[in-house]
Structure 1
Amino acid sequence: MALSIFTEEPSGSTILASSSNHTQNSTGDGGCPWEISDKVRLCRFLCYASERDVYTAREEGRVSMENTETLFSRLEQGRGAEVVEEIKRFAQDGRAVRLDPSFFALALCSQYSELKTRQAPFKAVKEVCRNSAHLFSFIQYKKELKEGMRCGIWARALRKAVSDWYNEQDAMSLAAAVTKCKQREGWTHQDLLRLSHTKPANEDEFTQAHVIFARTEVLAYSEGAVVPCTVSADMTLAQATVELVKIPGGITDCTLPVTWAREKGKSVNVFVILTNKPLWTFAASPVESLQKHREKSGTKSKLVMCVLTSIGHALSNTDDRGFLSVCGFDLGALSVIRNLAQDLI
């Protein structure tokens, strides 16, 4: 079955939904409205890694020097700063199907011979590389583009850009960054901090982020108790599954992790319970258990009960700001949990 999608303006004229990139007011450089200009080709590359008029859905793989003729042409014309601005727009406005072309283009500009072009990308790193995975990808592309050259990639400009990326974040944002993605493309945070010679601009925030990162623990429910689990962010889904199936299952009682932490003398900021079981049995009152932990540890602990199905079980009328029930799980759930942890909701 084939569908043709179109919209109709109030005046009665009809506009096809797919005719956006050939007008002078969007990505054209002037001239004929339907001419495929260099800017259009550049935008296509940043959008789906090809200057051609063919997009292949779900195509993965590393971005290479192929299909970069227009990108090089813009740099040779002395328009590198414009290229970097276009990279920023695609990264920030959600125009790109995948962001690897932006990281590749940013890395390429950062190693171009002309000074202004070479400087502009480093000032844009924080805006384009919005999380750890992005930063790792950018660094890896720089390494690949430097293969065969005598000099290394860790010159002063890159060291400063990486240091600023870490130091310009608050403690919670930095903690989230280093725990969500610990390594990618063969790089770790320890590698980047060491090679960039990063020194904390705010020692307290840096220490707080390190403590949060170091004290993250994973427990699994097993036969009426909770036991330590070796699952970590470094594992693939298959590896995590192998570890989880080793542990006999058990009931999901949200009071057990709280009791475990209290008995072990651990100060926990946020308990996050993930389960695919919509109903839980409680050995004790969740509210009372958390209050006891708060009193003993002196920590303003919070509890998030997240059921991974759309039919969840919420704690009724707790009247406690530190409790949250999440039904279903998506990217929005991560933002909600983070906001609770930071006392924003």
Structure 2
Amino acid sequence: MRSGVYAIGAAAAALLLAVAPPAVAQAPVPPPCRTVGDAPFLRIAPESAARLAEIGVGRAEVFALMHETSIPETMGCWAMPVGNFDSQLVSVGMSQWNYGTGSLQPVLKAWRDSFRSRGRFKRAVKALAPTYGKLLFSRDCLAVPVRDRCRAGILAAHGADGKLNPVILAELTAIFESDAMLQVQTDAYVALLEAVRLDLLRVFPGQPITMRKVRWAVDTKVQQGFFPIDEDLARLRAKLAAMPPGERWTRLRAIFDWYGALARTIDQDGIQRDAAWNVEQWGCMIDFGMIDPEQYEMLHLTFLRSRTAIGNSGRWQALTFERRAKIILGIGSVSGVRGGNCPAPRAD
């Protein structure tokens, strides 16, 4: 017979399955693209490499992390531009830098400046983006926030379906798949990793910095930009330390229940192929004693940050949690891509 606690988890999963599509979730197939990965011409500054080595991140790890980051963002592509579906005007690149948050403008400026000559830059724009290059690199579009003229021009480049038209799509892809932009993206990602290094030392003072923590921190930084403040970290850790041992797994199940309930609400997106399977698998992990102390604390930290994800008035909170939970647990589904598997419960 199944244990009682597993039956509770299974019941929650069944409720999710009742509203989920009946077909087995299929992982999305990426379009033909230049895929994220190492290349001989890509450089990492020696001083940056030395700092990253302090947290166990070498060149191979940098590009492995880049590829991992790109999977939920661009299905592993260097470019994959998308339009204003999330109110960010344009998002593009392996970290989906965008105009809305102001993260795209520095990347475009860095690419422009990498030519070290206005003439070379203009020739590159003419070759790669003859129609929309002038708009994309205009002062209006490089301002933070973008100005009204830029916003109007970008929105006009969307089709009736709300997606970028084929011309601007192709031109942004050409720019972001160019060798020079691959270097810019690498530089931006290395800078992000260096910032993550400082965040890790603050969030986990005195603790070993494991690769699990690095991967978790990178995903948090890419998607949400920052981590809980010291006051919130101290409050959470004090509560965890004072928690009676008998409440340990009930409290964690409550977080998984929060995720499952949130996923069933009308205005959560990006999780329809994942939530039911995740609820079942993560409940199974509790039943089989597969969650260690580091994972336990990190799941609570993830809950702390996920419940404050405010994009589109909280539309992505469940997705935010499942992305980090999959990294922490090594088992999970994100964007229809499943990884790992909890042992099936055995009959007595």
Asked if Structure 1 and Structure 2 have the same fold, meaning a TM-score greater than 0.5 normalized by the shorter chain, the answer is no
Between Structure 1 and Structure 2, whose CA radius of gyration is higher? 1
TM normalised by structure 1 equals: 0.25
Q: Which one has a larger percent helix, Structure 1 or Structure 2?
A: 2
**Structure with greater contact order relative to length (CA < 8 Å, sep ≥ 6):** 2
TM normalised by structure 2 equals: 0.24
